[in-house]
Amino acid sequence: MKKETYIKVVDEVVQRVSQHADIVMNVEQVAKYLGLSIAAVRKRCQRKQLPYHRNAKHLYFSKIEVDAALLGRKNKLEA
């Protein structure tokens, strides 16, 4: 395998793995990620529409859990 091809394949693998890595986000980050206001994110947490973790007064979100919740909701709407 040529060096250029090998480098290209490795770069693609790294990019795909990083897309699926779990990231911990705070309220501001998840609001920006979802395109919502902070108040809308908090409301969805109260309604149990978004998975979250609480540490004292702070809310934290797993990117993988948020993505799974959104995909699950879309599938229910399609059915």
Instruction: Show me where the domains of the chain are located.
Output: 22-78
Q: Which helix (H) or strand (E) holds 54?
A: strand 53-55
The per-residue pLDDT string of the chain (79 residues; one tens digit each, 9 = 90 and over) reads 677 887 888 778 777 766 667 889 999 999 999 999 999 999 999 999 999 999 988 999 998 889 888 888 654 434 3
Query: Is-contact 38 31, C-beta < 8 A?
Result: yes
Which residue reads 């693998």 in tokens? Answer: 13
Query: Is-contact 59 29, C-beta < 8 A?
Result: no
Q: Write down the CATH number for the domain with range 22-78.
A: 1.10.10
Q: Identify any residues that bridge with 62 across adjacent strands, giving them in sequence order.
A: 24
Q: Which helix (H) or strand (E) holds 53?
A: strand 53-55
